[in-house]
Amino acid sequence: MTRHLDAFRRILSRNRAASAAFAALAALYLMALAAPWLAPYDPDDESRSHSWAPPSTIRFDGIRPYVHPVSFTFDDDARRVYVEDTTLRAPIGLFVGGHLFGLVDGSANASGARLYLLGADSRGRDLLTRLLHGARISLTIGVVGVSISTFVALLVGGIAGFAGGRVDWLLMRVCEIVMLVPAFYLLMLLRAALPLDWDSRVVYLSIVLILSFIGWAGLARVVRGLVLSIRERDHVVASRALGVPAWKILTRHVLPHTWGFLAIQATLSIPGYIVAESGLSLLGLGIQDPQTSWGNLLQEAMSISEIQLHPWSLLPGAFLFVAVLSWNLVGDALRDAFDPRGDE
């Protein structure tokens, strides 16, 4: 394993795209972890008078940043237009109200100003705040879901390949039944069968379990094939001849040889889980407002007119694109590290 990690580090040092992707993922997960502190507002802090406010223009008085309060009027086409009140200033400070930065409380309350670095949504909630909090669901649901499905695949595939006979036949037929059903339709069916008014934590757990249920079968068949090959190696045959218990042979001498493949497969599978959760939330079957994920944030970018008038509503899609692309690039680098030719 140490040899493969060294190879992975060498590949990252040579492959700029993979190195940038690894750094991007590290930054995204750190931002998600520190979301309550990095975000300037709470995710449910709304101001209806700032609905669809554009990104704030930050100005400087010497070295101290500030923003002007904004209010809206309507143009000749009845479109909302925000204008600045240049007679008032709201200074931006560090470590304000338990957040890394924000408007100084007294000036913000007096002027009615809001700080929107990436703009606001239809209810006047800060988009940056909701993106950071949404990352906690969209990014972790892939890791947790893949971990569960990989564990189930390892268990089922390992037992099937090592035991053989009727056990192998029965477990593989179960895998084939699961694989026969179109994944996304099964995903929608299972989620739609559950109550839509559940608490967001229960919804999160149910989506993780549904995604894991869909994703384990194909991987289990591959693990079974690997185990069938590994169990014929000399050290495994020798362990059997010495009377070592079957479970100990399986866990110590067989399954560890599949970890390289599973690490690659898990890394390359995480983007699919992220996209599946986003698709469910986009369709209203996943995480529900006021809880936030990148998928349900994209609900407000469902029409061309909204995108034209408020282009910042597409930013959750940009974050999704970066996360999915980065996981794929890191997965490719990991595959090269575990490939014997990667050391050449």
What are the tens digits of pLDDT across the range 156-195?
998 898 888 899 999 999 888 888 877 667 767 766 777 7
> How does residue 1 score in pLDDT terms, banded at 50, 70 and 90?
low
CA distance 304 to 225: 48
Integer CA distances (angstroms), 2 to 7, 197, 265, in order: 9, 47, 19
Residue 245 lies in a domain: yes
Check which CATH number belongs to the domain holding 12 and give it: 1.10.3720.10
Residue range(s) defining the domain that contains residue 211: 2-33+129-343
CA distance 278 to 40: 24
pLDDT at 321 over 50: yes
pLDDT at 129 over 90: yes
Q: 22 with 147, same domain?
A: yes
Q: 77, 106, 124 — which closes off a domain?
A: 124
Q: What does the pLDDT average to over 57-84?
A: 87
Summary mean pLDDT of the chain:
84
> How does residue 4 score in pLDDT terms, banded at 50, 70 and 90?
low
Tell me the CB-side half-sphere exposure of residue 202, using CA atoms within 13 A.
Answer: 7
Q: 224 with 79, same domain?
A: no
Q: 158 with 12, same domain?
A: yes
In DSSP terms, which residues pair with 193 in a beta bridge? none
Total domains present in the chain = 2
The DSSP secondary structure of 161-210, one letter per residue, reads HHH-HHHHHHHHHHHHHHHHS-HHHHHHHHHHTS-TTS-HHHHHHHHHHH
Residue 335 lies in a domain: yes
Q: 77 with 160, same domain?
A: no
What are the tens digits of pLDDT across the range 231-277?
888 877 888 787 778 778 877 878 888 887 888 888 888 998 898 88
Q: Which pLDDT value is given to residue 213?
A: 80
CA distance 166 to 161: 11
pLDDT at 139 over 80: yes
pLDDT at 33 over 80: yes
Q: Which pLDDT value is given to residue 107?
A: 61
Q: 26 with 74, same domain?
A: no
pLDDT at 25 over 90: yes
Q: Pick 281 or 220 by higher pLDDT.
A: 220
Q: 82, 108, 124 — which closes off a domain?
A: 124
Q: Which pLDDT value is given to residue 342?
A: 42
Q: 27 with 133, same domain?
A: yes
Nearest CA to 191 out of 176, 166, 208 is that of: 208
**pTM confidence score:** 0.85
Q: Pick 44 or 195 by higher pLDDT.
A: 44
Q: What does the pLDDT average to over 134-154?
A: 90
- 319's tokens: 């974050």
Q: 84 with 120, same domain?
A: yes
pLDDT at 38 over 90: yes
Q: 335 with 243, same domain?
A: yes
Q: What does the pLDDT average to over 52-62?
A: 91
> How does residue 106 score in pLDDT terms, banded at 50, 70 and 90?
low
Q: 93, 124, 155 — which closes off a domain?
A: 124
What are the tens digits of pLDDT across the range 86-98?
888 889 999 888 8
Q: Which pLDDT value is given to residue 344?
A: 42
Q: Which pLDDT value is given to residue 27?
A: 95
pLDDT at 316 over 90: yes
